[in-house]
């Protein structure tokens, strides 16, 4: 199967067709029509075999996750997903793999309202790059730089499950049948908090998605805002599956530094704490307060009221 046949068969006429796409796959460029008074939010993520995913990862899960991690970036800025391009590099054409990969990709795309409008296919080691575009009302986007001294720090969902799921796949940890599928599922199929991000646009002062671990990602907000923070590790949201599979100390370290949770971390002033409850309830997302922004430029942790030192650092790309 040649390149254009591959694109035609697996990608061109599949997935959601948005009305704001004037020209999609098949030309030198796509043409889209952004809404008035909206800013474009653009993000790009690459997944490389043996770096970001294991060779035996199911193709459908890989297609879903490739888009989900990009959607999480849009969520952290309060943007509404709209369009994407896909650059797919493969060592060979495997029709069954492509069928399953595209099914997973379009499952996520249709659920979150995203149209595939272009991309590229090449031969080489398996890797995929998605560039996603979203829209956010002008002046309303959440960023990393808005936190203020005294703001409360919240996170959505539970933390550490994905990293433990990966370690189970790698044979580094064992889990009961009761928890194994859940933990691996959290690694394969993260839930981008798109609606939560939109609900936070007028309430939060800063936000980031948790891709490299809370300790690393919160530091990005603190660096951008020139502030410090104090995190109470006893307040970290930990699932029963995590707590029943590893020790409490290991669970805390997974939550702080495991990475690939793709939950949202955001800061909220005291005046908006009540409004947050209502907004995220409507978005259907659980959340919990884990700490507070403070003066200075250090990120500190406590447990039972005394200083706590995490057991390992967050993920580093280089």
User: In which band, very low, low, confident or very high, does the pLDDT at 40 lie, cut at 50, 70 and 90?
Assistant: very high
pLDDT exceeds cutoff 80 at 91 = yes
Q: Rounded mean pLDDT of 7-14?
A: 64
Identify the DSSP state of 8: I
How confident is the model at residue 318, as a pLDDT?
40
Q: Is the pLDDT of residue 19 over 90?
A: no
* 146-195 pLDDT, tens digit each: 999 999 999 999 999 999 999 999 999 999 999 999 999 999 999 999 99
Question: What average pLDDT score do residues 270-299 get?
Answer: 92
- Residue 73 annotated as binding site: yes
Distance, CA of 208 to CA of 197 (rounded, Å): 10
CB atoms inside a 10 Å sphere around CB 317? 6
Query: Which tens digits make up the pLDDT trace of 197-227?
Result: 999 999 999 999 999 999 999 999 999 999 9
**CA 109 → CA 82, 192, 200, 288, 299, distances in Å?**
9, 12, 22, 28, 37
What's the chain's average pLDDT? 92
Tell whether residue 161 is among the known ligand binding residues.
no
Map out the domains of the chain with their CATH numbers: 3-137 (3.30.1330.10), 152-307 (3.90.650.10)
β-bridge partners, 136:
39
The helix/strand/coil state of 184 is helix
Cβ within 8 Å of residue 107, ≥6 positions away: 60, 63, 64
Question: Across residues 71-83, what is the average pLDDT?
Answer: 97
229, 291 Cβ separation under 8 angstroms: yes
Q: What percent of the chain has pLDDT over 90?
A: 80
- Annotated binding residue at 315? yes
The dihedral sign for the CA sequence 94, 99, 101, 106: positive
Q: Is 260 annotated as a binding residue?
A: yes
CB 217 within 8 A of CB 208: yes
pLDDT of amino acid 185? 96
Would the annotation count 45 as a binding residue? yes
pLDDT at 27: 77
- Residue 154 neighbours by CB under 8 Å, 6+ apart: 265, 266, 267, 268, 276, 287, 288, 289, 290
Q: Could you read off the pLDDT of 107-153 as tens digits, one per residue?
A: 999 999 999 998 888 999 999 999 999 999 999 999 999 999 999 99
Using an 8 Å Cβ cutoff, are 126 and 35 in contact?
no
Helix (H) or strand (E) holding 109, with range, is: helix 95-112
Handedness of CA 85, 91, 95, 101 (dihedral sign): negative
Q: Is the pLDDT of residue 64 over 60?
A: yes
User: Does 212 show up as a binding residue in the annotation?
Assistant: yes
Per-residue pLDDT at 9 exceeds 80: no
120 in a known ligand binding site: yes
18-24 average pLDDT score: 83
């Amino acid at each position: 199967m040649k390149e254009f046949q591959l694109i035609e068969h697996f990608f061109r006429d599949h997935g959601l067709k948005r009305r704001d796409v004037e020209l999609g796959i098949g030309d030198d460029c796509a043409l889209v029509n952004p809404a008035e008074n909206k800013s474009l939010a653009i993000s790009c993520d690459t997944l490389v075999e043996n770096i970001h995913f294991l060779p035996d990862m199911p193709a459908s899960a890989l297609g879903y996750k490739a888009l989900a991690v990009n959607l999480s970036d849009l969520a952290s800025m309060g943007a509404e997903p709209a369009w994407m391009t896909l650059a797919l590099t493969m060592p060979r054409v495997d029709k069954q793999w492509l069928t399953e990969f595209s099914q997973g990709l379009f499952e996520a795309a249709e659920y979150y309202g995203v149209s595939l409008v272009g991309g590229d296919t090449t031969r080489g080691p398996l890797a995929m790059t998605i560039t996603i575009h979203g829209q956010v009302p002008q002046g309303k986007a959440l960023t990393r730089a808005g936190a203020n001294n005294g703001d409360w720090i919240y996170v959505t969902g539970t933390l550490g499950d994905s990293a433990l799921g990966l370690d189970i796949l790698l044979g580094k940890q064992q889990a009961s049948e009761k928890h194994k599928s859940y933990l691996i599922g959290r690694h394969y199929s993260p839930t981008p908090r798109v609606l939560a991000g939109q609900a936070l646009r007028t309430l939060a002062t800063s936000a980031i998605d948790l891709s490299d671990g809370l300790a690393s990602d919160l530091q990005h907000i603190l660096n951008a805002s020139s502030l410090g923070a104090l995190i109470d590790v006893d307040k970290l949201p930990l699932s029963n599956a995590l707590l029943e599979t590893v020790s409490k100390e290991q669970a805390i370290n997974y939550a702080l530094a495991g990475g690939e949770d793709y939950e949202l971390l955001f800061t909220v002033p005291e005046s908006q704490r009540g409004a947050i409850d209502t907004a995220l309830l409507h978005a259907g997302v659980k959340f919990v307060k884990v700490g507070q922004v403070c003066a200075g430029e250090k990120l500190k942790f406590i447990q039972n009221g005394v200083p706590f030192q995490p057991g390992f650092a967050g993920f580093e790309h280089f």
